[in-house]
Each structure stands twice: as structure tokens, then as C-alpha cells.
Chain A
Amino acid sequence: MRYAMIVFLVVLATACKRGPKPANEVIAVERQQLPASPAEAAWDQTPEHRAALLPQDQVEPRLLTPTTGEVKVRALANGAEIAIRLEWNDDSKSDTPGPARMVDACAIQVPATAGKDLPEPQMGQEGRPVQVTYWRADWQAVVDGRGDTIRDLYPNASIDHYPHEAKSLAPGSDAQKEMALRYSPARALGNIRGGPRTVPVEDLIAAGPGTLSPGPSLGANGKGTHQKDHWSVVIRRKLPDGLSLNQRTHIAFAVWQGSRGETGARKMRTGWIPLVRRSGS
């Protein structure tokens, strides 16, 4: 009898450590303070949803060979924001951009407007847009302190001279900044795909494949960390439309493994998954 009691307690303790049983939908548990990083204890008691990933094989360029099998999802929410933690296996950290060097990334997608008629799960459709919050590993590296020089990417790079570093231009002066932007047309246009940034995520909107564009600010933020064989990424953003307490909307996920050459449409993704907000009790 004593032996059976010990076994029972061990099983109970193990179950508690693992947290609640897996859920067949994404349950955003109510919590006043939302965690900013993936390692916080607040995630432990949140039900986990394991979302199977499918190759994006709807539009060219397609991904025809499956890579990442699933993404583990946990969610927390309060009256203003939702925090979602995504975890997936990837034993190769890819956070340095370059020619033929793709970077690891993930994204969450929700209908811009909640309703019964869901947009197409593949980037929405005309008249039924989707909101996308996108996290990228190289942006995380920059937010975590990586510098904005070519030597931060290629430590042995040899550079003779940049025009914006001419002696005639005072460092930090408007003239110097203007000269630097002359040779960085994307930055000059405010298309900040690389370089200094304050958050490792961006708010986007789409109404069909190929239409992804900067969207209205959802105050998104995030934090990703890589352990030896997997990524853990938290994405926080404004509460999606229709996600009042005990209400349901939908969510979809996508994951890119840079080491497998995945970028843009070459990705692993899910269809729509129900997303419900529940009280913490």
C-alpha cells in the first residue's frame, strides 16, 4: 500500500511538472502579467497545443519536401494583449543573413476581422485580410546586441573605404547620415529588413499570397532563444479581433528553417486552428 502511494505521488508530481494535458485547440489562458521571454515559469501551467506543420505547396515557389514536423504552442492573454510561445526543433541556428544564407523565422496569423467566414489560411484573400506577426532570428541577434557593420556578419571582411566615412563628413552629422542612406536604398525608403531595430518582430497584413505588406501597428514584440536543438520564441501583440473572454477566433502558424533554404513562400505552415481565451482558474 505504501509502495502504491509512492508510485501515485511520483506520477502526480511528474504530471504536474509537465503541465496540463495537451489541448486540441490553442487556449490562451488569462493572466494579468504576460511573460516577455520563453523561459518564464508562467508558461508551465498553460496547456500546450501541438500543431502539425504542412509544406506550403499551394503557390510557387512551393516547398515540396517537408522539414519541421510540428510546432508546440502555448498562449496567455489579458484584456489587451496576447502572448504566444512557439517551440520547434531546429538543431542548426541560422541568424546571419547573406547570399544563399537564409535565417530562421516564425509567424502567427489571425483573421483581421473575426467572423464565421474565415479567410483563406494561406495568407488570406482579397476582401478578407489576415494580420501576420513575423519574428526573425537575425533581427533577434540585432536586438540582442549584434552590431551594424559587415564585420559583425563577416569578421574577416576587408573594407577599404565607405563614402559615408569620408573625413569631410562629421560622424553622426546629417550630411553623414544622408551619404550613408544614398548607398542603402531600402533603408532610405524605410524598408528595414536589416540593420538597427528595437524589436525582432514586425506587424504585417496580407490579402492573398504575395501581398504581404506592413500593417497597422499592433504593438508587437518578441523574444527568441535557441537551445542546442530547438527554438523557443515568444510573440506578443494586441489581442486579436473577437478574442473576448471565452470567445473563439482562429490562428495559424508558420516556421522557416534557414539551414534548409526556407524563406518567403518556402515554409512549413498550418491551416486555421481554433484559438480560445479562457480564465485562469
Chain B
Amino acid sequence: MARVYNWQLGREMSYWYPEARPQRQFAAVFDTNKCIACQTCTLACKTTWTSGKGQEYMLWNNVETKPYGSYPLAYDLKLLEMLNGQAWSGGRYDGETIFESAPAGERVLGWRPEEQDYAYPNVGEDDCANQVDSGAFLTLPHMNWFFYLARICNHCTYPACLASCPRGSIYKRPEDGIVLVDQGRCRGYQECVRGCPYKKVFFNPMTGTSEKCIACFPKIEHGVQPQCFVNCIGKIRLAGWLSRPDEARADNPLDYLVHIRKIALPLFPQFGLEPNVYYIPPIHTPVAFNRQLFGPHAGEAMKAYRNAANDADLAGLLCLFGSTEMMISRFRRTGGMVTGSDGKGVEVVRVPLREPVHVRPAVDAKNQLVRINCP
């Protein structure tokens, strides 16, 4: 194994291959606070990519209700139980990653879901963390909670699927960091399914190969965000390019959210893959739970998000979520307006921080009529 640097862990770690970061890394931020679990993203992906024979059960994109939701079943709990001692010292991870805790004869610590684990794609939907006692809904704050977690492939910097494949059939594109299964080379051993801790590689029994999210690379190559981003009703997603921490730029939307404001956090960083989908943690969830999912900085991220209304630059950037189909490489706030531009500096979107509001009087004085809100 090679020694590589994982900035999410604040330390070096062991990985199957030497560090080889792409020229630029596709990355995304999902705002969990805005997701309503309408599953439009899931259907957009399903319709576009996985409508064929053998793909019936596949959800390259899924939305699960935390704490109980999971697809495939208990994908997270099983590995968390296998991976002992996930302690942090400040920003440094003291525990072992799935690469460092690989059993003898294995490349990573993993497990393989069985058919029935895929049978309940929305198990736990809208289930609260605790039983709601009679009358509890009448008081504030509500002590019970759940939130929605939308998931796609994380296009990790250190993919476990890639490390697991004994044939080198999985590769990370040097031009954009997207992780793909070579469908001409895969022999369907399912080692990648076993290795990926997020279980975002799926075996297709009709083609006999494993398949996964491709980040809609044909769209990204044309500067357009993936299907699950542009179809999102809640406008919770923003796709872009993430720099290394030491090269972060304040005008890069992803860098600003992840590296500078540290408001968007990786999912299960302790696994060690340096995943590239980042989450703004839910602000009504106990911070201890958020820390287990999103790492030790969850508390600070929740605090910063709560203050976003008083933070013009952050609020402005959050307004760009779902505002355009195009990938935004740079953003700038000027007064009450925020603009996004593509990689060539061409402005692709301009939105106000606050939408103009006009309040129509309830009574039409001229016609002596009371207005109603029905059409």
C-alpha cells in the first residue's frame, strides 16, 4: 500500500495506489435542510440511465430518511459496526480507515449486500428518531427529528471501488475526477460492490457487469450540471470544481463552501475515501449524530448555516443553488445581486439575494371587492 494525504482526516493514510489527484475534481454540495424527499432526482436519474433490463433495482441516486433510512439496507450501520474506534482529535482522525483496517487477504474492509438488502429502497421514510408522545406536537421545540439524505456516487479522491477491483476495470478520469466502471473490461466479480462503503456500485445480472453513477459526464463535458441537480425541486444541489485546501479560491463556489466557510462536510469522512459530495448538515438534528455522519466540524457548520441570513456572501452563494443548468466556476456578490460565471468567465446567471416582494392589499378599494387567493 502507498501513503497518501487525506485532508479530510488531517493526516496521511494507506491506500492501494499512490496519490494521483485529477487536474480538477468534480464535486457537489447538497443542502440537507432544503431537501423534501420528493425523489425527483431519483426519477431523473432512473429515467436517464437505469431503465434497462437488469437495472430495475438500481438507484444511482437515492434519498433516504435519516436516522433509519438506508439503501441498501443498513449500508452505513454495518460498516460503522465493523470499523472500530472512530475517534477524532480536533480535525485529525485517530481511528482506522477501511483501507487501514482491511483484513488479511483483502484490499479493503468491506461487505457485500444481498438481494433482499435492495428490496426496501425507502425503508424508514419519514420515521422520527423517537416515538412521538401524545401532545408532543403542541409544544416547541419539537424534540423528535428526521432529515433527508440525498446520495449519489461520491466520486472519491481515494475510491474504494477502484482499489477493490483486481482487474483495474475502474478508473478515475484525470480531466475531472469522475470515477467510472469500464463496461468493456468489467468481469462482474462484484469486488467493487463489496468495497464501496456507500454501496453506490450495483451489479447488473443481465449484463453480468457492475454499474454506477457516471456524474452525467456527457453533460459535464458541455458545462452542464447532472440530471439529479437540474431536476431538483428543492434546489438543494450545486455542482462545481473543488480545489485542494491549499489552493482554495474565495470566488470558487465549492471552495468557498467546503474549504473557506467549512459549511459543507463530507459523508463519513472516517471511512477514508475523501468523498467529493459535501453536505450542509441538517440544523435540527442532534450534533452528535451529525458528527458521526459528517465529521468533527458538524457543530460549526450548523452554527454558520443558522447565521446565513446575516451573512451576505454566504446567503448570496446559497441563492445560486438550482438557479441555472450550467456549471458555475466563479461567483461574485455585489450589493444585493449575486452572479455566477462559467470556466471562461462568462456570466451564466444573475440572481437577487432577496426576491422583490409586492404585497397586494386584501381589499380592492377601487372596485370595492375583497380579493381571494384562489384563481
Contact = CB atoms under 8 A, between A and B. Distances in A.
A130 to B, nearest CB: 16
Contacts of A185: 183, 207, 209, 211
Interface stretch (A14-22, A145-153, A232-240): A145-153
Contact of B191 (A61, A189, A209): A61
Contact of A98 (B49, B167, B168, B203): B203
A99 B51 CA distance: 18
A166 to B, nearest CB: 11
Given A182-B52, A183-B51, A184-B54, A99 B189 contact: no
B270 to A, nearest CB: 23
Given A150-B56, A183-B55, A57 B105 contact: yes
Given A186-B186, A191-B186, A264-B187, A99 B207 contact: no
A79 interface: no
Interface string B173-210: 00000000001111111110100000000111111110
Contacts of A188: 183
A160 to B, nearest CB: 9
Interface range for A: 35 or more
A261 B190 CA distance: 10
B186 A194 contact: no
A259 to B, nearest CB: 13
B104 interface: yes
Contacts of B184: 186, 189-191
Contact of A99 (B52, B114, B186): B114
Contacts of B360: none
B252 to A, nearest CB: 33
B50 A183 contact: yes
A193 to B, nearest CB: 3
B53 interface: yes
A199 interface: no
B56 A186 contact: no
Contact of B207 (A102, A184, A265): A184
Contacts of A210: 166-168
Contacts of A57: 105
Nearest to A179: B52
A12 to B, nearest CB: 49
Contacts of A157: 56
B205 to A, nearest CB: 5
A100 B112 contact: yes
A248 B114 CA distance: 46
Contact of A150 (B105, B107, B206, B209): B206
Interface string B36-60: 0000000000000111111111000
| A60, A96, A163, A209 pick with most chain B CB within 10 angstroms | A60
A59 B105 CA distance: 8
B113 A99 contact: yes
Contacts of B7: none
Contact of B206 (A100, A161, A194): A194
Contacts, number: 141
Given A101-B115, A185-B183, A153 B166 contact: no
Contacts of B53: 148-150, 162, 180, 183-184
Contacts of B55: 183
Contacts of A195: 206-208
Contacts of A163: 51-52
A186 B118 contact: no
A212 B187 contact: yes
A61 B52 CA distance: 31
A261 B112 CA distance: 10
A61 B115 contact: no
B54 A194 contact: yes
Nearest to B104: A64
A135 to B, nearest CB: 14
A193 B166 contact: no
A69 interface: no
Interface in A191-206: 191-195
B106 interface: yes
Interface string A45-71: 000000000000101111110000000
A98 B54 CA distance: 9
A92 interface: no
Contacts of A177: none
Given A63-B105, A99-B113, A263-B190, A194 B51 contact: no
A194 B52 CA distance: 14
Contacts of A61: 105-107, 164, 166, 191
Contact of A193 (B51, B113, B164, B187): B187
A164 interface: yes
A187 interface: yes
Nearest 3 pairs of A and B residues by beta carbon: A183-B52, A193-B208, A194-B208
16 contacts: A63-B105, A97-B188, A97-B203, A99-B114, A99-B115, A100-B113, A100-B203, A148-B206, A189-B183, A191-B185, A193-B186, A194-B188, A194-B204, A210-B168, A261-B112, A264-B167
Given A192-B208, A264-B189, 5 more contacts: A99-B202, A149-B53, A184-B204, A193-B187, A195-B207
